[in-house]
Chain A
């Protein structure tokens, strides 16, 4: 029997029992949709986070913080309480540690706030060398105004959420305006508010939700010399080290050299390692979720097997007729498998569509607030990769065919004499 005739005959048989076929297909649709939705969402999320991280953290940088707690790749601010402090002039020591080091930049940071006539807005205050920092982070770039290469002591650069905190088009101040910058000095008792008046030289381009150590939309950037006197210290909070190479070996050896040099009293964080770790976490989560979703496919498969066995019993006589008319066992097997494959194909295609649709809806819900919360909404674009598409299609058809194997085999083994006698 020709393949096209096998499928024609099978399709005809499916058409006869539309409701039953539809319900069987629904099982496949639900299973495939669950798998595709989860894969599209997690892969989209992964791509978004990885790209935002890549923007916020240059791959060839290491971040050195005081404290011995953090492993390479850790998210934390580093353990504190060891009494160890980083000083700005340690950059020279670090630069001498390895020929793979390009440069080191010291960063001071304090929680503070800024104030204008009609806005009081909390902010993270960073004391940095503008030129060096811009070299490390390409995202440290002015959208309006400019980043002064030789800043006077009262010039500052602010993140985009500082002068338009609502992200709704209302801009409270622009370049050339003056703002009051304050922080609460808790090193003296009682704590005192320290502030000074600065002129906004530039507003940064939007960075995005993830920039845990790179430029931030809620940051206020003060020239390092100003910061030293304003914060009253030479201690810095982190030193960013740029490497000539971003491969794993270099990252590992330089990280080790730095921690060794400071007798394990610093933690060194590598964005590359962080992204790697995040990716592997995502892979695990994805595998777990897809595994759960795949169980529903298993259930669908059992449904198919069940319905095929019912169909086999109902059609015993028909199989007898087909065999009496000269149909080979192989063709009987093909007819049953083809029926199942058609159900699998329709189920898979509808499931992929439904799954992707669900992913788009979920992404919109996530993007519109649950994750966002005003601190930088996470815009996820669900990803339906060709691999997922083809995989889901193959899986849907595969499951259907595998579970139809036993009923189909039994059908093909029916003896014509007995099958014809069957009422």
Chain B
């Protein structure tokens, strides 16, 4: 019973979310009223061509930006009502994996994974222990003291995923996870993500323009011109 309820808690819930940018003096409607729901344990891909509003959606779900109108609940919190500090706190519950990995170049793999925990005030010994566990989970046990420049694209992507998992986030948010790696690495990264979802019950939201990749998720939300054009279980 408890299990069932927790399974049905929404990690992300969007209700008629709108976002308008000012491009110079011209308002641009990036999102024109988007509603959808991602539940605990879900694996959702948000698919769309460039200009469809998926990057805007990504920024909102990542709590990097606030909607112009509508309600966006992340882990049950309406981000439209949060100030900068509260948004920062909320981001610690989101496992953001950037398109270009965005590792800190001067830090080792292990230090990069430790960084979010350091930001969340976790002590040195505890975060080192967890970072080593995570790097082992993503299969990088042998590379902990390497700097990003000494790692391949796929390895950097794994460090980025380990980093995203550091603070036990409510969900992983991946931006074009295979956009900057070769196809072999891409399939390895994908199976890692699928494994995290299946074995570790990590909720996953993946933003991509790659239709093939998107259909590897349990569910695909298609976006076009700032609106959701379809929302289907794969």
Task: Report chain A residues within 8 Å CB of B98.
Answer: 321, 324, 420
Cα–Cα, bound, A323→B59 (Å):
12
Produce 1/0 per residue, A142-167, CB < 8 A to B.
Answer: 00000000000000000000000000
Tell me the nearest residue of chain B to A6, going by C-beta. B118
**Bound CA–CA A420/B120 (angstroms):** 20
Cα distance A328–B163 in the bound complex, in angstroms: 18
Q: Is the CB of A318 within 8 A of B104?
A: yes
Inter-chain contact total with CB atoms closer than 8 Å: 66
Cβ of B136 < 8 Å from any Cβ of A?
no
Q: Does A188 contact B (CB under 8 A)?
A: no
Bound form: Cα–Cα A276–B174 in Å = 76
Does B89 sit within 8 A of A, measured CB to CB? Answer: yes
A339 to B119, CA, bound (A): 17
User: Given contacts A16-B106, A417-B59, A420-B102, are A326 and B118 in contact (CB under 8 A)?
Assistant: no
A77 at the interface (CB under 8 A from B): no
The 3 closest A-B pairs by CB, nearest first: A326-B92, A326-B91, A416-B64
Q: Pick the residue among A15, A317, A329, A415 that contacts B102 (CB under 8 A).
A: A317
Q: CB of B3 within 8 A of chain A? A: no
Q: Identify which of B85, B90, B104 contacts A321 (C-beta below 8 A).
A: B104
Chain B neighbourhood of A5, CB < 8 A: 118
Known: A322-B119, A323-B88, A325-B96. A420 touches B64 (CB 8 A): yes
Give the distance in Å from the alpha carbon of A153 to the alpha carbon of B64 in the complex.
103
Partner of B116, one of A2, A16, A325, A329: A325
- Chain B residues whose CB sits within 8 angstroms of the CB of A320 once the complex forms: 102
Indicate if B220 sits at the interface (CB-CB under 8 A): no
List A residues at the B interface (Cβ < 8 Å). Answer: 1-2, 5, 9, 12-13, 15-16, 317-318, 320-331, 415-417, 420
A321 and B84 alpha carbons, distance in the complex (Å): 15
CB neighbors of A among B82-132 (8 A): 84-85, 88-92, 96, 98, 102, 104, 106-107, 115-116, 118-121, 123
Looking at the complex, which one of A331, A416, A420 makes contact with B119 (CB distance below 8 Å)?
Answer: A331
Residue of A nearest to B95 (CB): A325
Alpha-carbon gap, A1 to B107, bound state (A): 17
In chain B between 48 and 92, which residues have their CB closer than 8 angstroms to a CB of chain A?
59, 62, 64-65, 84-85, 88-92
Q: Which residue of B lies closest to A419 (CB)?
A: B64
CA of A97 to CA of B92 in the docked complex: distance in angstroms? Answer: 88
Q: State which of A12, A16, A321, A326 has its C-beta within 8 Å of the C-beta of B89.
A: A326
Q: CA–CA, A77 to B161, complex, Å? A: 88
Picked from B84, B85, B91, B123, the residue with its CB within 8 Å of the CB of A325 is: B91
* Residue B157 lies at the interface, judged by CB distance under 8 Å to chain A: no
Which listed residue (B102, B118, B121, B163) contacts A9, Cβ 8 A? B118
Whether the Cβ atoms of A12 and B119 lie closer than 8 Å is: no
Q: Least Cβ distance of B159 to chain A in Å?
A: 13
- Closest residue of chain B to A413, judged by CB? B84
Residue from A16, A322, A415 whose CB has the most chain B CB atoms within 10 Å: A322
CB of A309, distance to nearest CB on chain B (Å): 20
In Å, the complex CA distance between A218 and B64 comes to 84
Residues of chain A within 8 A of B106, CB atoms compared? 12-13, 15-16
- In the assembly, what is the distance between CA of A321 and CA of B164, in Å? 12
**From B59, B84, B90, B92, contact of A329 by CB (8 A):** B84
Residues in B whose Cβ lies below 8 Å from that of A1: 118-119, 121
Instruction: Verify A324–B96 contact, CB threshold 8 A.
Output: yes
A-B contact sample (6 more), CB < 8 A, given A325-B92, A326-B88: A322-B115, A324-B64, A324-B96, A325-B115, A326-B90, A327-B119
